[in-house]
Amino acid sequence: MASGGGSRLTHALLTAGGTPTFCANENEQCRCDGTAVYGRRHAGGKPGSGARATYEQMFAHPTVAKVMAGSLPCTPATFGSDPVRGYYGQCYCRAGKVRTGMARLFKST
């Protein structure tokens, strides 16, 4: 697990639950009742250009996640680390409850 408020995740850990929806670009407010995932905003280029990376494309690079209810800034500080330092970030939300065992994986440290 990453230090701070987030956890390094694999795509398999976040496939249960509701359909992921785009939540916010980096430095915007993310409204999510479920699991918010922070990762790379664009599939190519540095710091990023072109089309927005899909939820699935984000997992080609490191991500961090946080269980939340409400609105928080989509920033590395919110998640406790920056898994894509030097690249633009974005947040997706997978709404819904997280199973108890999974909630421990996402719990802030």
Segment among 10-24, 31-45, 54-68 with least mean pLDDT = 10-24
State whether residue 9 is helix, strand or coil: coil
Paired tokens of 36: 């918010």
Is the confidence at residue 99, as pLDDT, over 60?
Answer: no
pTM: 0.76
Q: Check residue 49 and give its pLDDT.
A: 85
Say if residue 77's pLDDT is above 60: yes
SS3 assignment for 91-108: EEEEECCCCHHHHHHHCC
Q: Give mean pLDDT, residues 83-92.
A: 95
**Banded model confidence at residue 4, pLDDT cuts 50, 70, 90:** very low
Q: What is the DSSP string of 29-88?
A: EEEEEEEEEEEESEEETTTTEEEEPPHHHHTTS--EEEEEEEEEE-SHHHHTS-TTTTS-
